[in-house]
Amino acid sequence: MIKGGIEPREEPHAAALRELREESGIADAVVSQDLGLWDAAFDEQIWSLHLCATARELPQRWSHRCLDYGSVDLTFFWHDFDADPTEEWHPLFRRALACIRSRIRRSAR
């Protein structure tokens, strides 16, 4: 999960793609589905959820130097969509994953 803020006058889908590019280095993604808004019940945050896709196959693991936060190297891997999150996951991200799963499955019907 990549998350970040929406800039003034920026559309939520554009913010999702910008944050994905800035934080993970994935620059060729498109929004394939708008999953709507989600009240995170944390720090008054409302999340705009977007399912993104690329035409190419992405690596299973990669690192990217994110210039945010004073230039930090972030390491990424894919979590199987149907696998339960581990106990290491923050409860906020556990709830976000449950919401995303529910919305994707509901839209597939």
30-66 pLDDT per residue, tens: 999 999 999 999 999 999 999 999 999 999 999 999 9
Residues with Cβ within 8 Å of 24's Cβ and at least 6 positions away in sequence, in order, are: 2, 62, 64, 74, 76
Residue pair 16/48 in contact (Cβ under 8 Å)? The answer is yes
Q: DSSP assignment, residue 47?
A: E
Residue pair 99/47 in contact (Cβ under 8 Å)? The answer is no
Q: Whose structure tokens read 């556990």?
A: 94
Residue pair 64/73 in contact (Cβ under 8 Å)? The answer is yes
The whole-model pTM stands at 0.89
